[in-house]
Amino acid sequence: MNHSTLRTLFRTVAIAEAFSWALLLIAMFFKWVLDAEPLGLAEGGVPVAGPIHGGVFVLYVLASLVSWRVFRWDLRTVVVALASSIPPFATVWFERKADREGRLTQPRITA
């Protein structure tokens, strides 16, 4: 896979994962706090937002594992990448940190 394409894919999925977290948190707020059904969505929209977030979460995990191999991340980096998928919005933090540190570029060949 082209390194530039994978970098763009990883960044896009990391941001999408954060947005899907926001969508799910908003839906849970409507369901549990307001006890409302906005736009006629049952249970505050959780049955819609949940699977969207779940699907994007899986994409982020897969993108992290592919990036681990292609960009030759060390074990610590991949563990932090995967762990960042758990707290809300941490994938954006990790993506920016990894990009700033050059972890989303073609790996250097060391002899």
pLDDT digits (tens, 9 = 90+) for 18-75: 999 999 998 888 888 877 676 667 676 788 889 999 999 999 999 999 999 999 999 9
Which residue shows structure tokens 């049955």? 47
Residue 109 lies in a domain: no
**Rounded distance, CA 52 to CA 61, Å?**
14
Indicate the number of domains in the chain. Answer: 1
Taking the CB of residue 101, how many other CB atoms lie within 10 A of it?
10
**What whole-number distance in Å separates Cα of residue 83 and Cα of residue 21?**
15
pTM (whole model) above 0.95: no
In a domain, 95, yes or no: yes
Mean pLDDT, residues 5-27 taken together: 93
Quick one: pLDDT at residue 39?
Answer: 66
The answer to the question of residue 73 being in a domain is yes
Determine, yes or no, domain membership for 111. no
Q: Give the Å distances, CA to CA, from 17 to 30, 63, 109.
A: 20, 11, 31
Q: What is the mean pLDDT of residues 89-97?
A: 95
14-18, 89-93, 98-102, 104-108: least confidently modelled range: 104-108
Residue 31: give the domain boundaries. Answer: 3-100
Residue 67 burial (10 A CB sphere; 0-12, 13-18, 19+): buried
